[in-house]
Structure 1
């Protein structure tokens, strides 16, 4: 079943090559059994988009970008009556989806590691001329394939908050679960961008003492609103030793129980092990570009017996957890204010350039729906 409308075509923003953007129109596809076609309401600029835009992604060099989004149901394929949590869905409902496929059959999926599915990006990597065209969310519409998890957005969660759920919040939620961070423990979060701010809120709700490190003071001020108990500006400390001593002063001289790297800078990863207590854990999410190397001290890692936990994507049901978290904490943390700059579909190049230059913390592209 679908929606009958005069609107028969949609528009996509296409990266022809790094830092070069064009626009194309395609006829809206017929929705297959088990699939959903969304009308995009807003789509955020994630760090992954910036890596691709600057030519740093290992495989994606052109195509439709965008994956962190919220949309509304435009058409439902045969058999689609509920989301992946069993909630009924209909035309017009607000939806967020995992941005990757879960094939259920590859080696990773057979072991329950859905976030590592070998076919995760089969469609995201397609060029827009290939059906069903709308492979990314920097577009007027977005196609959700069969076996691509999606969830209905709670009525009390705004578009601005929901748009960050299907990447930033879900991923740090997944990573922090893997770390086991809990009450009366401490965590150092390296990076106060979108991932870091979401992580601060999740860790704070776990009862942890939250320390956030960044080099941009405005980001650190925002981190305090998202649960940071302490902030450290790296520009105030000349050396790794100085920054380590600052963290030791905040953790009874032993170091943090957990550190989370969401800075996306190789040097931050090498530095992080200095901040962690013996027997602690280190979750790394931000460094996603292979081939970017840094000097590393494996002896210190071994001596301190630190467990490194690399995390890419998230198991798709964490998206449902993220939406529930947003609903339950909406009056505690300013998720509606997490996005600090709004752009139109026509201004995506400007949005990407300003985000890459760190002129904005979290840019968002508004295609329709509420502005909050």
Structure 2
């Protein structure tokens, strides 16, 4: 029996490397050799316990790898072949329930949050349910997207945050050519949202950050489509947007995490009749400065956004290949099994140092 390796989060701040038997693949499933797995805010929130789980699990959900084994029925269903590089959708879909048939597979009646990649029980065989591993088991309900040959696996992990930028900044708010767009949060998803809005024809894009931790990210923003980058610790974003664009925002995208005051900023920045998309979790029931009456006075539309979908992911892969934005040059750190935990601690703010814009786990890589 061949052996796989994975990092299991047994409790908050405790990653344990374990060995797993590789499963035998039948007609309906498959096995992926993980090449790279991008890191996002969810990863370090799982690590610190801000996102809880009732069982031990292998984290990691921005997975790119090579299909190592594949059943005949699965190959037909997924439209891929053994030896092909693919990106893995976080959510699974039964393809048959009413929600899945309507394209809302994030609400799949058989799957949903319980079977998401990077969340499943490591003690339930085969256990290989997340990207912090040498292999990922591809369940029959998995969804895969072929990765173009032009993309290396590390860059290809950006399919996830860039897909999020496309869905959150363009598809959900129906961003139109000429719109003024304000993006709160200059992390990798904020930069991706800026690029997506600019690709959609936004007339003006502002992105905001907070303090020294965001200095490098705000400096990168113009290369990703932002017309204005504002540090809200020193400048008033409302005044800055009015002075630079001459108008409030048609669309506000909030991708901040653990920033309760950002909701108030979003409401202030939006024009009457504008749209706000909330895609980052507050981590707190408190929302300093938020006055819900302004939602009424301005007749605002507010959408919550959970996850992405394969349509946006495919658009993201095409945009990455286009080379119109310098995604390959993002400041990043690539970690292997031994160096991943310190990187996650840095991302969580529990270790000294400024976190990279793009963090990636790659089995067998040298820390770089």
Q: Structure 2 length as normaliser, TM-score?
A: 0.89
Query: In structure 2, which of residues 333, 336, 344 is the aligned counterpart of residue 341 of structure 1?
Result: 333
Task: Look up the match of 1:224.
Answer: 222
Structure with the bigger RCO (C-alpha within 8 Å, sep 6+) is 1
Alpha-carbon distance in structure 2 between the residues aligned to 1:231 and 1:116 = 36
Q: Give how far 1:255 is off.
A: 0.4
Secondary structure of the structure 1 residue equivalent to 2:66: strand
Q: Give how far 1:46 is off.
A: 0.8
Alpha-carbon distance in structure 2 between the residues aligned to 1:306 and 1:144 = 41
Q: What stretches of structure 1 of length at least 5 have no aligned partner?
A: 1-6
Task: Look up the match of 2:356.
Answer: 360
Deviations 1:186-221 (A, max 9, x none): 111111111111111111111212111012110101
Alpha-carbon distance in structure 2 between the residues aligned to 1:126 and 1:275 = 39
- The question of whether the paired residues in 2 share the 8 Å contact of 1:181 and 1:258 is answered with yes
- The question of whether the paired residues in 2 share the 8 Å contact of 1:211 and 1:229 is answered with yes
Q: Structure 1 length as normaliser, TM-score?
A: 0.89
5 Å-filtered alignment, 1:67-216, equals 67-82=61-76, 84=78, 86=79, 89-106=80-97, 108-109=99-100, 111-118=102-109, 119-124=111-116, 125-165=119-159, 167-175=160-168, 176-208=170-202, 209-215=204-210, 216=214
Mark the CA change 1:107 to 1:59 in structure 2 (over 3 Å): closer, same or farther.
Answer: farther
Q: What stretches of structure 2 of length at least 5 have no aligned partner?
A: none
Aligned-residue CA RMSD (Å): 2.3
- The question of whether the paired residues in 1 share the 8 Å contact of 2:36 and 2:153 is answered with yes
Matched length: 354
Q: Give how far 1:110 is off.
A: 5.1
The yes-or-no answer on 1:277 pairing with 2:292 is no
Task: Look up the match of 1:313.
Answer: 307
My pick for the range that moved more, 181-190 or 73-82, is: 73-82
My pick for the range that moved more, 9-18 or 156-165, is: 156-165
Deviations 1:287-323 (A, max 9, x none): 175x533242111111111111111012333222221
Deviations 1:7-44 (A, max 9, x none): 81100101111111111001111123332211010111
Mark the CA change 1:359 to 1:81 in structure 2 (over 3 Å): closer, same or farther.
Answer: closer
